Structure 1
Amino acid sequence: MTGLRYVYAVCRPFGTPLQAQLTGIGGAPPALLHHHGLVAVVSTVPAADFSEEALKARLEDLDWLAATARAHEGVIDALTTVTTPLPLRLATVFRDDSAVRMMIEAREDHFRQLLDRLGGRVEWGVKVYLEAEPAEATPAPAAKPASGRDYLRSRRAQSHALEEKWQRAEQFARSLHERLTERAEDFRMHRPQNAELSGAAGRNVMNAAYLVPRKRSEEFVELVDRTKDEAPGIRVELTGPWAAYSFTGETAGETAGEAAGEAAGETAGKAAGETVGETAGATVENAGEGR
C-alpha cells in the first residue's frame, strides 16, 4: 500500500472554485469526492507517514505534526470562504475512495443534521488573559533583613493582591461572556491554555468559542473590540472566523496532537485536535477501527 486517502472535511456541493494555488498535505491540491449529495475533500498521502504504525511515531514529532496541522488548516480555511465545512480530525485517513464513500453513507444523516445547523455560521474564539506584572529593571535593596514575621506578612499581602487581581479578571470574563452570548447562537468553554505550550503571555482566564451567524460577525467583532480597554491589566484576544470546529462533535482529550497545536499557535491548535466530529473517532480509519 503506497497511498491512503486523507479526508479534510465533509460539506455540501459548492459552485465557487477553491483558490487556484491551494495545496494540502504533501503539496498536492485537494480533490472533491462527491457521494450521496455530499462532498468529501480529500488528497492522497503516503502510507509511510499515515499508516497506523507510522502515525504512532509521527505524533511524537512536533515539527512534523505542526506542519501537517497548518496544511490541514489551510484547506479548511479555504473551504470556509466558499461553503460550510465539517472539519475532520487531523490524520483521518482511509484505504481508498470506496472506504471514504462507506464512511459518508454510515454518517450521512449525522452530516446533514450538522450542516443544517451550522450552515451560514462561523466560529470565533475569545480568550481573556490576566497579564503578568512588569518586572522591575533592578530590585530595590532591602533597608535591613526582614524578620520572619515581616516576611510572612509580606507574602500574605502579595498573595492577597494576586487573588484580588484573579477575581477581577474572572468577573470581567463572566461579564464579557454574558454579552457575547447575546450575539451568538451557541458557545463552548474550553479549558484554559497552558502558557508554556501556547507561548501566550499572562494567565489564561477564559478560553471560549462562539457560534455566530456570518451576517452578525461584524457586530460580534465590534463588541469584542470595545471591551479590550475596559480593564487595565486584562488582555482580550479574538481569533477567527473559523470553521465551526467546536460545534461539530465531541471535544478531544489531551493528546500529543493538541499539545503540538498549542505550541505551533492557534491555527495548528484547531487542526491538531481541539474539537472533532464523531467520524474521526479513530486516528486511522483505514484500519477499520471506529470509536
Structure 2
Amino acid sequence: MTVLGPALEEDTATYVFAVCGHVDHNTLTALPGIGVSFPVRPLPFGALTAVVQHVEAAHFSEDAWRARLSDERELERCARAHHDVVSAAALRGPTIPLPLATLYRSDARASQALRKDAERFRTVLRRIDGRVEWAVKVYAHTPPTPATAPMAEKGRDGSSPRDGRAYLERKRGLQKRREQRHDEALHTAETVDSALRAVAVASRRLRTHAQEPREPARTQVLNAAYLVDEKRGEEVARTVLELRRSTGADIEMSGPWVPYSFVGEVGP
C-alpha cells in the first residue's frame, strides 16, 4: 500500500495505476477502475503519461485501505480492478504497473512526484517494449504414506521386535524416497529454468509458495517469471511442452502478462 503525502484532506485523491508513453483516452473511459465514481483517465507529465482516477479521499485514506484490504473479497476486487486498467493501457504500448493503492493528494502532487522518476520510467519502458511476461511453476509430488501393517505375533509385553524393525525400515525407506524425489524435482526445476532462460531476455526466480492444504502431496520447487519478446510466445509454449515430455515434470505455465516482475522498484 502506498499512500503518499500528508493525510488526505481534500474531497478527492488521485489514484495512479500505471505509467506509459501514451494512452488513448477512449481506451480508459469504459473502465470502472478502483473507485467507480470518477472516470479513469490519462494524466500527462512531461513526455510520459500516468493512468489515474480520482477517488473519494475519505474512502481511500490509509486507515480505510487497511480496513478494505483486510477483507479477502474486497482485496481481490481491488486487485482485479487495478489489473484490468493496467492491462487495458498495456494493449496500446509498454506500460509500467504501479503498486496497488498508489495515492496522491491531487493531480498536481502526482505529476510532481512522477516527474522525479521520469528517467527511470523511460529506462524501464524501453526495456519492456514489445515484451511480455510468462510465469512458470514446477511441482514435486511426495509419495503417500503407506498404511501401517497389522501387528503380528507379540511378545509377553505385547511388543513385536520384528514389527518394530519393519516399521522403522519402512519409515526410513519412505523418507529416502521422498528425499530422492525432491532432489530429482530440484534438478528438473534447474533444467526447466535453464531452457526457458535461453528463450527469454530476462528472468526472475520468485519465492515458492507453501503447500496448499487441499494438495498436501504437491510441493512447488520453482516459481519463476520470464521476460520474452512478444513474437516468441509460441516458442515458450513449445519449450514447456517438450520439457513436460522429456522430464515428466508437473509444470504449469501462464501468460502472457504485463511484465509486473520486470519493472523493478519504479514506484514513487
Scaled by the length of structure 1, the TM-score of the pair is: 0.77
Q: CA RMSD in A?
A: 2.6
Matches within 5 A, 1:236-275: 236-250=251-265
How far apart, CA to CA, are the structure 2 residues paired with 1:198 and 1:89? 30
Structure 2 residue runs without a partner (length 5+): 1-9, 153-159
Using the TM superposition, give the Cα deviation of residue 199 of structure 1 relative to its aligned residue in structure 2, in angstroms.
Answer: 7.5
Greater length-normalized contact order (CA 8 Å, ≥ 6 residues apart):
1
Is the Cα contact below 8 Å between 2:29 and 2:41 reproduced in 1? Answer: no
Q: Judging changes above 3 Å, is the alpha-carbon distance between structure 1 residues 70 and 38 closer, same or farther for their aligned structure 2 residues?
A: same
- Name the structure 2 match of 1:122: 132
Using the TM superposition, give the Cα deviation of residue 10 of structure 1 relative to its aligned residue in structure 2, in angstroms.
Answer: 0.2
Using the TM superposition, give the Cα deviation of residue 41 of structure 1 relative to its aligned residue in structure 2, in angstroms.
Answer: 0.5
The 3-state SS of whatever aligns with 2:17 is strand
Match 1:195 to one of 191, 195, 211: 211
- Name the structure 1 match of 2:16: 7
Q: Which moved more, 1:156-165 or 1:140-149?
A: 140-149
How far apart, CA to CA, are the structure 2 residues paired with 1:59 and 1:161? 42
Matches within 5 A, 1:195-234: 195-196=211-212, 202-232=218-248, 234=249
How far apart, CA to CA, are the structure 2 residues paired with 1:109 and 1:196? 42
- Name the structure 1 match of 2:5: none
The 3-state SS of whatever aligns with 1:18 is helix
1:151 and 2:167 matched: yes
Is the Cα contact below 8 Å between 2:142 and 2:181 reproduced in 1? Answer: no
- Name the structure 2 match of 1:18: 27
- Name the structure 1 match of 2:4: none
How far apart, CA to CA, are the structure 2 residues paired with 1:141 and 1:60? 47
Q: Judging changes above 3 Å, is the alpha-carbon distance between structure 1 residues 226 and 81 closer, same or farther for their aligned structure 2 residues?
A: farther
Using the TM superposition, give the Cα deviation of residue 74 of structure 1 relative to its aligned residue in structure 2, in angstroms.
Answer: 1.2
How far apart, CA to CA, are the structure 2 residues paired with 1:238 and 1:21? 31
Using the TM superposition, give the Cα deviation of residue 223 of structure 1 relative to its aligned residue in structure 2, in angstroms.
Answer: 1.2
- Name the structure 2 match of 1:286: none
Q: Judging changes above 3 Å, is the alpha-carbon distance between structure 1 residues 56 and 101 closer, same or farther for their aligned structure 2 residues?
A: same
**Matching residue's letter, 2:255:** G
How far apart, CA to CA, are the structure 2 residues paired with 1:195 and 1:97? 43
- Name the structure 2 match of 1:285: none
**Matching residue's letter, 2:260:** Y
The 3-state SS of whatever aligns with 1:195 is coil
Using the TM superposition, give the Cα deviation of residue 155 of structure 1 relative to its aligned residue in structure 2, in angstroms.
Answer: 1.0
**Matching residue's letter, 1:95:** R
Q: Which moved more, 1:55-64 or 1:102-111?
A: 55-64
How far apart, CA to CA, are the structure 1 residues paired with 2:63 and 2:246? 51
Is the Cα contact below 8 Å between 1:16 and 1:82 reproduced in 2? Answer: no
Q: Which moved more, 1:126-135 or 1:38-47?
A: 126-135
Using the TM superposition, give the Cα deviation of residue 179 of structure 1 relative to its aligned residue in structure 2, in angstroms.
Answer: 0.9
Give the structure with higher Rg (CA). 2
- Name the structure 1 match of 2:66: 56
- Name the structure 1 match of 2:77: 67
1:278 and 2:260 matched: no
List per-residue Cα deviations over 1:77-119 (Å, max 9, x = no partner). 2222221110000000111110111122111111111111111
The 3-state SS of whatever aligns with 2:246 is coil
- Name the structure 2 match of 1:87: 97
Using the TM superposition, give the Cα deviation of residue 20 of structure 1 relative to its aligned residue in structure 2, in angstroms.
Answer: 6.6
Match 1:142 to one of 146, 150, 173: 150
The 3-state SS of whatever aligns with 1:116 is helix
Using the TM superposition, give the Cα deviation of residue 26 of structure 1 relative to its aligned residue in structure 2, in angstroms.
Answer: 3.0
Is the Cα contact below 8 Å between 2:134 and 2:228 reproduced in 1? Answer: yes
How far apart, CA to CA, are the structure 1 residues paired with 2:217 and 2:206? 18
How far apart, CA to CA, are the structure 1 residues paired with 2:174 and 2:28? 55
Scaled by the length of structure 2, the TM-score of the pair is: 0.84
Is the Cα contact below 8 Å between 2:151 and 2:163 reproduced in 1? Answer: no
The 3-state SS of whatever aligns with 1:7 is strand
How far apart, CA to CA, are the structure 1 residues paired with 2:234 and 2:219? 28
Is the Cα contact below 8 Å between 2:25 and 2:41 reproduced in 1? Answer: no
